[in-house]
Amino acid sequence: MIAATQLRLVLVTPETTLVDAPATSIVAPMFDGQLGILPGRTPAVGRLGTGELRFQGEGGEQRYFIDGGFLQIKGSVVTVLTHEARPVSSIDLGAAEQALQQANGLVARTDEEAASKLHAQQRARRMIALRRGR
């Protein structure tokens, strides 16, 4: 039996399939850290976090900002189902900085509002960091 040498990444949002392409390696932001995926990986399902999804494809490295969702590894297919995904190059730095200011100004009166504020802050900070190349 010959080991697989390539993965297939499928990146899906509620609106569309953004990526359906071969990849040699994938790094995904999970809710508790990052997960590196190489060909031959055992099957898995996990909860995504907010941050950078990057993969090595035919055209070199590609980078996407994603916001939550789920990841499934089944055979050589890695499926990423997320609420939001966009190429890092399309992030508007000014809009992300404004979103951070708005999130910082939110007043949380309940635990749910505090969690929402924290998520908005983390989301904006990660977008800013990705766009600035950090």
As a 3-state breakdown, the chain gives helix, strand, coil percent values, each rounded to 5, of: 30, 45, 25
CATH superfamily name and code, 7-88 = F0F1 ATP synthase delta/epsilon subunit, N-terminal (2.60.15.10)
**Predicted local distance difference test score (pLDDT) of residue 95:** 95
**d(Cα 52, Cα 119) in Å, to the nearest integer?**
15
* pLDDT for 2: 38
Beta-carbon count within 10 A of 42 CB:
5
* Residue type (1 letter), 72: Q
Is residue 100 within 8 A of residue 124, CB to CB? The reply is yes
**Digitized pLDDT (tens) for each residue of the chain, 134 residues in all:** 335 689 999 999 999 999 999 999 999 999 999 999 999 999 999 999 999 999 998 889 999 999 999 999 999 999 999 999 999 999 999 999 999 999 999 999 999 999 999 999 999 999 999 999 86
